[in-house]
Amino acid sequence: MLAWMDERALGATLTTGQTHFYSRSRRKHWHKGGTSGHVQYVESIAIDCDGDVLLIKARQMGGACHEGYRSCFFRRITSGGRIELIAEPVFDARTVYGSSRETGQASAKSDRALDSARE
């Protein structure tokens, strides 16, 4: 998954050992797994050469993706440009997040990378 952090989210991640992010579309901080229990236990945090991207390796409880998959990257693009499914869901997203929440977030899709994973 890819999500945004600010300084406070990184601080909470370092302090708790679980990932915290900042949603630009909802303008709020969120704790990955706070609602679903699908938390991420941080194993390592690498920072890139110019210091604006973090690569976090974590032990994922349940699934990272709001669509019920372990990873948000559950499809691949073939060399011919087609999109193919490459994974099976690991949980029922509707049961975990509820359909009302699904609808509620659909309006915030302009900042889409933020919504690729859920609390």
Binding residues for a copy of itself (CB under 8 A): 1-2, 10, 14, 17, 44-55, 65-67, 69, 72-77, 79-81, 83, 86, 109, 112-113, 115-116
DSSP codes of every residue in 20-84: EEEETTTTEEEETTTTTS--EEEEEEEE-TTSS-EEEEEEESS-SBTTS-SSS--EEE-TTS-EE
C-beta of 34 vs 67, nearer to a copy of itself: 67
Q: How far is the CB of 81 from a copy of itself (least distance, A)?
A: 6
**CB neighbourhood size of 55 (10 A):** 9
Q: How far is the CB of 34 from a copy of itself (least distance, A)?
A: 19
Report residue 54 as tokens: 């973090």
C-beta of 76 vs 98, nearer to a copy of itself: 76
C-beta of 85 vs 100, nearer to a copy of itself: 85
